[in-house]
Structure 1
Amino acid sequence: MARQSLRTLAPGLALLALFALLAHTLADVIPGLNALIVAVALGALVANVVGTPDWAAPGIAVGALLLEVGIVLLGASVSLAEVQASGPLVILLVVLTVAAGVVAVELLARRVFGLSDKMASLLAAGSSICGVSAAAAVAGTIDADGDQLTHVVATVLLFDAVTLLLFPLAGDALALSGKQFGVWAGLSMFSTGPVAAAGFAHSPVAGRWATVTKLTRNSLLGVVAVGYAARYASDGGTSNAKLRQVWTEFPKFLVGFLVVAVVANAGLLSSAALASIDTVADWLFTLAFVGLGFDIRLSEMRDTGLTPVLVVLVHLVAVSALTLAVVTTLF
C-alpha cells in the first residue's frame, strides 16, 4: 500500500520539484526576481491555462503539508530574544486586530450588505484569523452548508492572490523596514502561505516577522471557533462534537514551530545544522508555493459573488490602512 501511495504521489511531487527548480533558476538569472513569487506564478499559469493534470493532483496536494513542515522548520531561524523584545506589543496588536476584525465584518456583512448570519461568520473568521482554514474550522462548528463555505473560500483565495502581488509592491514603494513590513503583512493578509510568501518576497527579516505575527493570529483560531460554537449551540449539535471539530481543524503545526524555536534558541543545534535546516525550509517553501499557485483559479474568482467580495474588500482596506499607520509609528 505504501508503494502504491508513493507511485500516486510521485508524479505531482516531481512536477512541484521541476517548477521549484525553475523558479530558483529564474530568480538567480534575473536580478530582483523572487523565487517564491515565481513559484506561485508558475503554478497559477499551468492551473489556469491547461488545468491540473489528474495524474499530478495527489502529489500537488501534498504542497499544503510541505508548507506546514516548512513553517515548523522556520522556527529555527527565529530569535526568541528579538520576539520577546517586542512580543507583547505584537500580541496586543494581533488580539486587537482579530477582535475588531471579527466584530466589524459581522456587522458589515449582516447590517450593511444583508448577508445571512452564517455567511457573515464565515467571512469574519476567514478574513480576521487565518483564511480558508479558519473558515473551514468555523463552518464545522456552526453547521454551515457547503455552498456557503465554497463561496467564502473562493472570496478568500481571490484576496490571497491579490494581496500576494500587491503587498510586496506596497512595501517597496513605502520603503518599509523588514520588521515593519512583516508585522504589517502578518496583521493584514489572510492565509498563512501568502503571508509567508509576501514576507520573504520583501526580505528574510520580513519573512520571519510576517510568519511569527501570522502564527500568533492563527493561535486565536481555537478561541474564536469555540466562541462561535457557543454562539450557534442552539442550532443543533452537541458541545463536545463542536469542540472536537475545533481541535480537528486547529493548525497543530503551531506547536511544532514553537518546539523548534525553543530547541534552536537553547543552543542545542550547531551552526551547520541551523544552516541545513534553513536550506531545507527554503526549498519546502518553494515547493509549497508552486502548489499554492495551482490553487489559484481565475474562473472561481469570476464566479465569486460580488457582495462577499465587497465586504472583505472594505475590511482589508480598513485593516491594512490602520495597521500600517500603527506599525510605522511603533516599529
Structure 2
Amino acid sequence: MGVRRLLPGIVALCLGAVLARWLARVVGVNHLLVAIALGVVVSNAVGLPDDCDPGVATHKLWLGSGIVLMGASISTATVLEVGGPVFLVVLAVTGLTLVVVELLARNVFDLTERLGTLLAAGASICGVSAVVAVAGAVRATEDQVAYAAATVLLFDAITIVVYPIVGDLLDLSGAVFGTWAGVSMFSTGPVVAVGFAYSDAAGQWATMTKLSRNALIGVVVLGYASYYARRGGDGTASVRTLWAEFPKFVLGFLALAALSSLGVFSSAQQTSIEHAYNWLFLLAFVGLGTEIRLADIKSTGLLPAVVVLLALLVGSLLSLTVLSVLF
C-alpha cells in the first residue's frame, strides 16, 4: 500500500528528470538547473495532482542518496590539503551570519525574538531543515516557522540564479566557487545544484563544504535550547531530537569517501557511481523545484527578507574574499 501511494509522484519525478536531460541538450543549459526550473514551472503554472505529493516529497531521500554515492568520487588527499582552513572559514561565516541576523532582528528591525532565532538558524546552517529543528527546540509558533521558512526559500530561489552568474563574471575556479556556495548559501539542494551546474569540481567542493556546515546543526539546536530554557522559555533538546534532525547522509558520504581513499572502487565502478548520483540529483532537483511556490514567496514579509539579505551579503562577501586568497 505504501509503494502504491508513492508511485505516482516517483513516476512524475522520473519523467521530469528525463525531460530535463533532453531539454538541457536542446537549449544548452546545465541539466540540473533545467530540472529545478521544470519543477517550478509545473508546480506554479500547472500544478501536480494531490496523489503525486507523497512521491514527490521523496526528493529529499534522492538528494541524500546522491550525496552518499558522491563520496566514492571524492579525493580525500585534496580535502585534507586545505580542509583545515576551509573548516575555519565555515565556522567563521556560520557564526558571523548567526550573530548578524540575531542583532539585526532584535536591535534594528524589532522582530520577535523567536522569529529572529529561526531566521538566524536557517541562514547560518541549513535552510528550512535548521528552521524546523530549532523551532522544535525553542517552542516557536507555527506562523513563526512559516515566516522563517518562506524567507529562506525566497533566498534559495534567488541564489540559485545569482551565484552562477557572479561566478562566471568573476571567473572563479571550481574550488573557490564551490566552497563559496557551500559556506554562504542556505539549503543543501540549491548548493549542490549550483555547484555541479558550475563544474564537477565546484559541485564536489560545494557538497563537502555544505555537509561540514550541516553537521553544526546539533551545536546550534543545543545552544538555543539552553538559552531559552535559562530564560524560562521552555527550550528543550533531547538526544533523540538531535539525532532525528542530524543529516545522517553525512555519515554515508564519509564512509564511501573513506572506502574510496583505500582504493576499494575501480575506475569503472566510480564512473558507474557518478552516473547513478547524477540521475539521483536530477530526481531530487525536479522535486526541489516543486517546493518553490511563487505565491508563498510574494507573501513573505519585507523585514525578515531585509534582515536575511544583509546577513547574506556580509557572509558572502567576506567568505569570497578569504577563499580567493586561500585557494
Residues 133 and 221 of structure 2 are in contact (CA less than 8 Å); yes or no, is this contact kept in structure 1? yes
Number of the residue aligned with 1:308: 304
Q: Distance in 2 between matches of 1:78 and 1:59?
A: 30
2 CA distance for matches of 1:52 and 1:140?
Answer: 30
Please state if 1:9 is matched with 2:2. no
Picking from 234, 254, 257, the partner of 2:253 is 257
- Distance in 1, matches of 2:91 and 2:47, equals 39
Please tell me whether the aligned partners of residues 226 and 235 of structure 2 are also in contact (alpha carbons under 8 angstroms).
no
Q: What is the deviation of 1:267? A: 0.8
- Letter matched to residue 122 of structure 2: G
Aligned to 2:16: 19
- 1:239-250 equivalent positions in 2, closer than 5 A: 239=236, 241-250=237-246
What's the counterpart of residue 207 of structure 2? Answer: 211
> Which AA in structure 2 matches 1:193?
G
- The whole-number CA distance in structure 2 between the counterparts of 1:22 and 1:74 is 23
Q: Out of 18, 21, 44, which is 1:48 matched to?
A: 44
What CA distance in whole angstroms lies between the structure 2 residues aligned with 1:180 and 1:53? 41
2:90–2:183 contact (8 Å) kept in structure 1: yes
TM-score (norm 2): 0.97
Report the Cα distance in structure 2 between the residues aligned to 1:77 and 1:166, rounded to whole angstroms. 28
Q: Percent of counterpart pairs with the same letter?
A: 53
| Distance in 2, Cα, partners of 1:176 & 1:69 | 28
Distance 1:238 1:107, change over 3 A: closer
Q: Which runs of 5+ in 1 are unaligned?
A: none
1:245 to partner: Cα distance: 2.0
Cα RMSD, aligned residues only = 1.2
* Matching residue's letter, 1:107: L
Name stretches of at least 5 consecutive residues in structure 2 with no aligned partner.
Answer: none
* SS of aligned partner of 2:51: coil
- The TM-score with structure 1 as length reference comes to 0.96
Matched length: 326
> 69, 76, 79: which one pairs with 1:80?
76
Distance 1:326 1:52 in 2: 43
Deviation at residue 237 of structure 1 after TM alignment: 4.6
Q: Distance in 2 between matches of 1:298 and 1:30?
A: 24
Paired amino acid for 2:21: H
1:218-229 alignment to 2 at 5 Å? 218-229=214-225
Deviation at 1:258, TM superposition (A): 0.5
Aligned counterparts of 1:252 and 1:269: Cα–Cα separation in 2:
22
In the other structure, the counterpart of 2:26 is 29
Note the alpha carbon deviations across 1:146-189, whole angstroms, 9 max, x for none. 11011100000010011001101111111001001001101110
Equivalent pair of 1:46/1:52 in contact (CA under 8 Å): yes
Question: Which portions of structure 1, spanning 4 or more consecutive aligned residues, are displaced by more than 6 angstroms?
Answer: none
